[in-house]
Structure 1
Amino acid sequence: RAILTRERADLTRETVPINLKNLLEGRTADINLKKNDMLLVASDSVLVELGSFTIYGDVQVPGEYDYAEGTSIEDLIIKAGGLLKSASLAKVDVSRRIVDPLSIESPNVIADIYTFNIKNGLVVDGPPDFALNPYDQVYVRRSPGYIEQRNIEIAGEVLFPGKYALKEKTERLSDIVKRAGNLTPHAFSAGARLLREKTIMEMTEERKAMQALSKGLKDSISTDLLNINPYYSVGIELDKAIANPKSEYDLVLREGDQLIVPEYDNTVRINGSVMYPNTVLYKKGQKVSYYINQAGGYSDLAEKKRAYIVYMNGTVAKVKGSNRDAIQPGCNIVIPSKEQKDKMSLAQILSLGTSVTSMASVVALLINNLSK
């Protein structure tokens, strides 16, 4: 088959189909070519679309690889640098495109899936002589029996502080304290605190919230807001966890956790809207008011009803004046400030007075002009 595109006398174009085989064999009349004729000779073979392979998962170099006829799963794994130690030999999946040019309806099945396992470096338990097609995707799964060490850290008043690998997914506070040789005689277990590492998802969500909050603020403030701390404090009661193993007090640990067991601290800090922020000695049974007086009392901007206490173990409680047990050794009493309303400075007041005087003069002048 050939196509001749020819220009007519009125400069319009026409298409003349030609059976090229008959013409070359003399079975049809030859055609004399004219000025501006364009002859297109079609290929006698179908163009094959050779899409690349893609391999995912636990191989050395996952990614796309050029198509080559006769490529097996083993061949593609070798091209990808081989399996990682974490790869599963029990499950390798292949996803294949469904191609049906004669279909007249939208199918429910959108891919053909083949599953294999690997033995002695060879793929078994699948269709025999299985070769990859263009656009096939191979998934090498991670073995459920491959678990990397998950480390936590314990610091402070234990016999053997340092890093520890978790033995079980459900290892708890009391378990790790035992493995660290238990608490020293100087440990203040009620003040122990836990810092937990944020996950990537938690960091992302917090960054989005900070970005939304920082809109409309100055650049320097926005930058400070986006410097997110990778850890957050988890309120624990280590003394109760040790006394009641496996109870609700005995927190299940997570990779990256940092347990800090301090020495006994018999001071109390008073911060915020007080006359003189101070650190004073803890006295059992004293009310919050006693410690506020030790800081000179409330300032004029103190928001007394919103005062709160931050304990050494990371827990927070609202101040209740009648509660004598609210104050514990090492805690921090925080008195928030009221929102300050913008007050006019002396210069602004004088400027406003000048403006009023000028306006009065203009009004008087207009009245005089109208009365004439």
Structure 2
Amino acid sequence: MKKLITVIAIFMALFLSNSIVAQDILKGNDLSTVRVDYLSDGDIAKIKTQLQNNNVTIDQAEAMALSKGMSASEFAKLKKRLALPEGTKPTANKSVAKKKSNDLKSEDEEESDDDALRKQEKIVNKKVKDSLNSLVFGSELFDNPTLNFQPNLNLATPVNYVLGPGDELQISVNGVQEFSDNVPVSVEGKVNIQYVGQISVSGMTIEAATQKIKGAISRVYSTVRSGQSQVGVSLSRIRTIKVTIIGSKQPGNYSISSLATVYNALFLGGGPSKNGSYRNIELIRNNQVYKNIDIYRFLVSGNQSDNVGLKDNDVIRIPAYTNRVTVEGEAKRPGIFEMKKGERFSDLLNFASGFNEFAYTASVNVLQKTGKEFKVADIQAAQYSSYVPVNGDVFRISKILNRFENRIIIDGAVFRPDTYSFHAGMRVADLIRQAEGLKEDAYLKRARIIRLKEDLTTEIVNVDLAKAMNADVSANIELNKEDRVTVYSILDFKEDYKVTIDGEIKNPNVYDFQDNLTLNDLIVAAGGLTGSASKRVEIARMIRAEEIDEKNPNKVELFTIEINPESNEQATNFELKPFDVVNIRRMAVNDKPEMVLIGGAVAYPGKYVLVNKKEKIYSVIQRAGGLTSLASLNGIKIKRPIKKDQIEALENVNMNLGKKDSIQNKLKKKLKEDLKFATIPVDWDKVSKNQNSNANVTLLPGDEIEVSPFNETVKVAGNVLLTSEIPYKSGKGFNYYLDAVGGLDAKGWRKKAYIIYPNGQAAVSHNVLLFFRTSPTVTPGSQIVVPEKPEQHKLTTGEWVSIGSVITSLALLIVTAFK
């Protein structure tokens, strides 16, 4: 009964503590009994909501939860559950406690989220690139963070693994009877198993300890003795051991995994120091040299026989090197190498991965050091296996020469121009046959050989190719290596003739001339005649003569022929000569209909075709039905597009304003970008009375006629107090309308005010007599514009003083002159 009450109390405590966590993890006082494995998905969702409502991240809540008794392992489980999608639980054995790992990982390597069978504590060892010793062969092995030789903790435990204090075993009984627990190996080297007692395992292999533990458990669990239950023993946590590294870049004592090896420890220590040996590293165990490690065995052949496991209190000693040499030049892996006693230059080549493809392999130059000075020696290929490198030797492997032993070249009018191998006794015909023979356009009178002489100068040897191919020994001369044979083509000597066609043709251009080229051929090649082609064709032909004819002033000979414009095949098929120029003339009358646009207060606005070349504005307005009753007789104007040639003409005019003056540039910019049309005002009163007056403007294609409707207001704009439209009053002038908008502002320039009438015409004020000024008449629909005054530079006091001094000096000069 007592046991039952205890079980119920424990269950209630767990349940209540978990409920407290789920309800309010930030306000709970005691979280030591929390078991995250027993929290439901709903509880996890409540915790997420609680953290979000309090604007607290899970990392910020860690210190609070640990201070209230929650273990670090349980908080890690909670953090993991909160990171998983809702409804997902981690697949772990709830009876197996998750222990900290003692893994040898670099600082930037992330720890796996998967639940490994065993773990280790994370050891940080920052790697710094060794630029000082970068040429030393093997140095890159210890400053590369992707190489760390860490043991794989997920592999099966080695059967020869020796247990010791700090290890932890997972012991389980499965079957009729079940039991599971994680038991550490105490400092006395014993494990304490519930109901079984203490068992000494220190110094035993994992295999021997497993047998001993099974025997002890079978004495307590009867089903184990009968075989109804099975015992499992595995290593769940690995102890750390202490090793000392001497002579490394980062010497010191290191706590590392008991599964670690020599290379793992060397990596942690940064490898040998600047003068450290890579080939005579000592592993000292129990004050004796247990193993000599040669890293080159691993670097050159991948042999890891020296990568032995470490034990507690091992010492790794890296002595200074005794013999280093340097390999420069055309080796596959140049650098600084350490040599052992008795090793030869051939061994050094093996360390450097041999010569590269450009190396001169017949001999190697070596720079040696004597007791007083330097000495240079050459090692021949036969000495590679006997020469013993000496400390400080610098071996220089040079490049092969940029020349060929048996090269010969042929180019030009052969089917396969290329580089070929030369052999003694080779002749011109032999090389041509090797190049698949002569092409049809080959020039047989002559071939050229550029020959390299013994003093490296060149000479030209000419060959009669026709005789050489007919086995004439005198012409089929013998070749030398490095000869370059060139076979000419008859096309190389042919002039590149052209003919030109222009005018009413679809593709006027310059075309290649061929023999028997006719006018019909050229017309078809140029895409045929256009619809505006006339029957007249002019063909200009250059005059060729051996002597100058002073009586003939003509530069060309001119042919005028008639063609049928409706057909590209002419009855007179004129034969052309090189450099002829053909001009297809345009029909005398072949103008396409051109239009103007009329809009505004007319009966039928829209586009109208110009009937004749001098059609006037009055005629077009009458064709558009005349003016409507709403039209303003003073509001008719023509907007004429500014053409490209007008802008070009302005650009070609030199106004002599100086290079730095921007007036002309501003004017060109205004024409190009701002103004699209030029406005032509129309005096309709004159036009309607006399159609022959100058006011009846002749229209051009693209013109736009704008008839404004009648407007009874006058617009006032510019530098006035109020931009507005004022109703028109007959007889009122400038001042009336300026006063109606409040007058001018501080920058208004009354003298330069002007008016723009509805038809686009403008007028300004002007002086009549000395003190009288008249303003233009204001009409309905017009616009008064007041511009801004230019900024005036006021003279400073110093400038007034200077002017006064000049005037005084002039006065004195005048007085002096009249004395």
Which residue matches 1:348? none
- 1:69 counterpart (488, 491, 515): 515
Which residue matches 2:80? none
2:453–2:459 Cα contact (<8 Å) kept: yes
- 2:576 counterpart (124, 132, 135): 132
Which residue matches 2:738? 292
Deviation at 1:329, TM superposition (A): 1.5
**Comparing 24-33 with 309-318, which one deviates more in the overlay?**
24-33
2:764–2:775 Cα contact (<8 Å) kept: no
- 1:182 counterpart (601, 621, 626): 626
The structure number with the bigger radius of gyration is: 2
Cα distance between partner residues in 2 of 1:249 and 1:225 = 25
2:594–2:701 Cα contact (<8 Å) kept: yes
**Comparing 67-76 with 32-41, which one deviates more in the overlay?**
32-41
Instruction: Note the alpha carbon deviations across 1:83-124, whole angstroms, 9 max, x for none.
Output: 2222222x2233445677x7899x986655433321363557
Q: 1:46 to 1:178 in 2, by over 3 A?
A: same
Q: 1:235 to 1:108 in 2, by over 3 A?
A: farther
- 1:157 counterpart (587, 592, 601): 601
* Pairs within 5 Å for 1:136-151: 136-151=580-595
Instruction: Note the alpha carbon deviations across 1:263-287, whole angstroms, 9 max, x for none.
Output: 2222111111112122112222222
- In structure 2, the residue corresponding to 1:262 is in which secondary structure? strand
Q: Does 1:338 align with 2:782?
A: no
Deviation at 1:241, TM superposition (A): 1.6
Which residue matches 1:240? 686
Deviation at 1:146, TM superposition (A): 0.5
Deviation at 1:151, TM superposition (A): 0.4
Deviation at 1:181, TM superposition (A): 2.7
Q: 1:169 to 1:267 in 2, by over 3 A?
A: same
Deviation at 1:298, TM superposition (A): 1.8
Q: Does 1:275 align with 2:275?
A: no
Cα distance between partner residues in 1 of 2:673 and 2:646 = 14
Instruction: Note the alpha carbon deviations across 1:229-257, whole angstroms, 9 max, x for none.
Output: 42221122122122111221111101111
Q: 1:82 to 1:38 in 2, by over 3 A?
A: closer
**Comparing 76-85 with 240-249, which one deviates more in the overlay?**
76-85
* 2:765 alignment partner AA: V
Cα distance between partner residues in 1 of 2:773 and 2:472 = 116
Q: Percent identity?
A: 30
Instruction: Note the alpha carbon deviations across 1:15-42, whole angstroms, 9 max, x for none.
Output: 3445556775869687444444444455
2:642–2:678 Cα contact (<8 Å) kept: yes
- 1:266 counterpart (701, 707, 712): 712
Specify every segment of 5 or more residues in structure 2 that has no aligned partner in the other structure, as ranges.
Answer: 1-445, 654-660, 767-771, 795-819
2:765–2:776 Cα contact (<8 Å) kept: no
Aligned residues: 331
Which residue matches 2:762? 316
Q: Does 1:118 align with 2:568?
A: no
Which residue matches 2:779? 328
Which residue matches 1:303? 749
Q: Does 1:169 align with 2:613?
A: yes
* Pairs within 5 Å for 1:11-30: 11-19=456-464
1:172–1:246 Cα contact (<8 Å) kept: no
Deviation at 1:226, TM superposition (A): 5.8
**Comparing 264-273 with 200-209, which one deviates more in the overlay?**
200-209
Cα distance between partner residues in 2 of 1:157 and 1:9 = 98
Cα distance between partner residues in 2 of 1:45 and 1:337 = 75
1:268–1:332 Cα contact (<8 Å) kept: yes
Q: Does 1:88 align with 2:539?
A: no
Which residue matches 1:349? none
2:764–2:776 Cα contact (<8 Å) kept: no
1:319–1:326 Cα contact (<8 Å) kept: no
- In structure 2, the residue corresponding to 1:192 is in which secondary structure? strand
Q: 1:182 to 1:37 in 2, by over 3 A?
A: closer
Which residue matches 2:145? none
Cα distance between partner residues in 2 of 1:154 and 1:319 = 33
**Comparing 167-176 with 18-27, which one deviates more in the overlay?**
18-27
- In structure 2, the residue corresponding to 1:190 is in which secondary structure? strand
Instruction: Note the alpha carbon deviations across 1:145-174, whole angstroms, 9 max, x for none.
Output: 111111012222333222111111111112
* 2:730 alignment partner AA: K
Q: 1:228 to 1:134 in 2, by over 3 A?
A: farther
Deviation at 1:60, TM superposition (A): 3.3
1:207–1:228 Cα contact (<8 Å) kept: no
Deviation at 1:137, TM superposition (A): 3.9
Per the normalisation by structure 1, the TM-score is: 0.73
* 1:187 alignment partner AA: A
1:286–1:324 Cα contact (<8 Å) kept: no
**Comparing 161-170 with 232-241, which one deviates more in the overlay?**
232-241
2:638–2:703 Cα contact (<8 Å) kept: yes
2:602–2:631 Cα contact (<8 Å) kept: yes
- In structure 2, the residue corresponding to 1:289 is in which secondary structure? helix
Instruction: Note the alpha carbon deviations across 1:187-208, whole angstroms, 9 max, x for none.
Output: 2222211111222323556799
RMSD: 4.0
Which residue matches 2:160? none
Cα distance between partner residues in 2 of 1:80 and 1:201 = 29
2:634–2:757 Cα contact (<8 Å) kept: no
Q: 1:68 to 1:40 in 2, by over 3 A?
A: closer
* 1:10 alignment partner AA: D
Cα distance between partner residues in 2 of 1:334 and 1:44 = 80
Q: 1:161 to 1:22 in 2, by over 3 A?
A: closer
Q: 1:181 to 1:53 in 2, by over 3 A?
A: same
2:754–2:763 Cα contact (<8 Å) kept: yes
Cα distance between partner residues in 1 of 2:524 and 2:466 = 48
Instruction: Note the alpha carbon deviations across 1:201-233, whole angstroms, 9 max, x for none.
Output: 235567999xx959999xxxxx99963342221
Which residue matches 1:370? none
* 1:14 alignment partner AA: E
- In structure 2, the residue corresponding to 1:191 is in which secondary structure? strand
Instruction: Note the alpha carbon deviations across 1:56-105, whole angstroms, 9 max, x for none.
Output: 3333344455544333222322333322222222x2233445677x7899
**Comparing 246-255 with 108-117, which one deviates more in the overlay?**
108-117
